Amino acid sequence: MAGAWLAVAGSSGMAWAAPAPAPAAGAAAGQDEVVAVVLGADGVADSGAVKVATVSVRLPAATVQAGAPLLRMPLVTSNVKTSAQDVRDLQARDAQGPVALTFRDDAPGAAPYRRWVASRAVQGPLQLRYRVPISNASNPLGAAPPLELRSEGGAFSGASGSFLVLPDHDRAYRLKLEWDLAALGEGALGVSTLGVGDRLAPAAAPSKGWESVFVMGGQVGREPSRPAADGFFSVWQGKPAFDAAGLMRWTHQLYDYYLGFFKTPSATYNVFLRSNPINPGGGVEIGNSFVGTFDQHTDVDAFKVTLAHEMVHTFVQPLDGDGLEGSWFNEGIAVYYARLLALRAGKISRADFLVDLNDTAARYYTNIKNTTPNAEIPARFWPDTRVRVLPYDRGALYFAQLNDEIVLASHGKRSLDDLLLPFLEARRGGQPSTQEAWVGAVVKEIGDKGRSQFEAMMRGEPIVLRSQAFGACLRSVEAPLRRYELGFTPDVLIAPKRIVHGLVPGSAAEQAGIRDGDEILKPVPQDAIQGDQKALLRLQVGRAGKVMDISYLPRGETVKVPQWVETSPSCVQ
């Protein structure tokens, strides 16, 4: 979704401006159905939180019979519990006057919705108004991307799918997004992955685009202060403990390096930052944007790697039609190139490169689930952190192995760059970007060995790398590291009520005092802890009416894993 612009609420003109995105192919402006959305807020509490978001939606003219599908909002999106059950004061009016609405919720499943129907036939344009409370409560479903509505510092943000009522169909229409932020004070900005202000976006179906627009409105920080020629901009809500503007300048410089490496014309790239007390330091790629999270203890150097990773997704899209099973490609390539391109660009040191490489290797080789076939990843992705990180770690090491094979086969004349960049160029030219197309390109590069290694990776066979797979200046050594072990059934942490069961006898959890039947009272982040051999898991536990804080080192057996070290500090390659 291209386009970036910022409007200043209450001012006489635009603070930032950039060209509008072109209409979808074959669609002339004004000839498509348009859904107009106006976002606002009631005001700011003394704490700086925006308590209520206000939403107005105008749907195009249509005739819908009584009881027929009319409106919907996801109940859950990407494991995030949405605001569907919290919508307040929903009012609807068509050409004949007020329309009474009733709703029903889908049975739990892969993509459940709350659906609204009308008590009578609806004719002509339909106008909706409603309010959405913003509680800042932790996602009750556990690990999930930062898509729910949250507020701080006089601003609010969230993905449209988490709060926006849209037509209950998948016909394509154009979305007009407007902001009314006067209640949030002078200088309030409305920002989204589409842009800001009165904007008409290209045609798309709800589930193919308009449920995945990230918005941030209110008193936000921004960098740069004026639009950049390459289309980069960033905004954040709240007050980070680090130099957010400095971090975004670093990110902007790396983005420019990516533009040259991937041989891509300038395109809008947006970064949205907001705090997250549960699982800071991560985020999610959405549109041509990244939503990153932080807390008061965020490690800026680690966050740089995250930002470098997410920007790769803008240039390397997932393989066609593979979903989570194919995430080894888009996540693995992002892990592999994030540290490599940041090193080449001079934005991290070789020591930083080694830290990230060894973190990836440690998490993969100590992961007792690392033999899980890729076909089984979707079913276990959210329930089990050990499975959730596999596409990242396995994919990155697969690409390292493939790069090494290409270098060896060409006697140092070619690398993974020479395979990937033409593959991406062919995709931009309309060629298929499927798993079969990728394997075909690999076989053309290194022969049948490329197919057998790929198939072994997909089956879950451990990836074995040469000691000097990362060049002559690095070599691997064996290090004793311990496996991550939660100590009880992982599904507990994504249940609506987190009741411990399947306690592992003798585990660190049991030794710390966890018992079957205990209730875990707060969501628990695991992805970052899993990769940190020294990180404690901190649980708030309820038992027999009492609340206890229990901490332990979630580690089990010790295994030997490869870690890379410099052959010589003066080595140059």
- What is the pLDDT at residue 197? 60
How many whole angstroms separate alpha carbon 469 and alpha carbon 475?
Answer: 8
- What is the pLDDT at residue 181? 94
Query: Taking a C-beta distance cutoff of 8 angstroms, is the pair 72, 207 a contact?
Result: no
- What is the pLDDT at residue 571? 84
Tokens of 143: 């690990």
- What is the pLDDT at residue 4? 26
- What is the pLDDT at residue 226? 72
- What is the pLDDT at residue 346? 96
Is position 265 within any domain? no
> If 0-12 CB within 10 Å is exposed, 13-18 middle and 19+ buried, where does residue 122 land?
buried
Calculate Rg over the CA atoms of the chain: 25
How many whole angstroms separate alpha carbon 327 and alpha carbon 377?
Answer: 9
Alpha helices in 292-415 (DSSP H): 300-315, 327-344, 350-365, 377-380, 385-388, 390-409
- What is the pLDDT at residue 266? 67
- What is the pLDDT at residue 22? 34
The reply to whether 470 and 510 lie within a common domain is no
Q: How many domains does the chain have?
A: 3
- What is the pLDDT at residue 260? 94
Query: 413: closest CA among 454, 457, 364, 446?
Result: 446
Q: In which domain, by residue range, is 519 found?
A: 486-553
Report the predicted TM-score, pTM, of the whole model to 2 decimal places: 0.83
Mean pLDDT by 10 residues, the chain (573 residues): 28 27 36 86 88 95 89 90 94 94 88 93 93 87 83 95 92 92 93 77 83 93 85 91 95 95 82 85 83 89 91 90 82 96 96 95 97 94 91 97 98 98 94 94 97 97 97 96 97 89 97 97 85 94 96 97 93 77
Is position 158 within any domain? yes
How many whole angstroms separate alpha carbon 225 and alpha carbon 242?
Answer: 18
The reply to whether 497 and 471 lie within a common domain is no
Query: Taking a C-beta distance cutoff of 8 angstroms, is the pair 156, 217 a contact?
Result: yes
Helix, strand, or coil here: 450? helix
Is position 86 within any domain? yes
Is position 389 within any domain? yes
CB neighbour burial string for 94-108, b if at least 16 within 10 angstroms, e if fewer: beeeebebebeeeee
- What is the pLDDT at residue 296? 87
- Give 154's DSSP letter: T
- What is the pLDDT at residue 399? 98
Is position 164 within any domain? yes
**Last-in-domain residue among 186, 221, 256:** 221
**Last-in-domain residue among 161, 192, 221:** 221
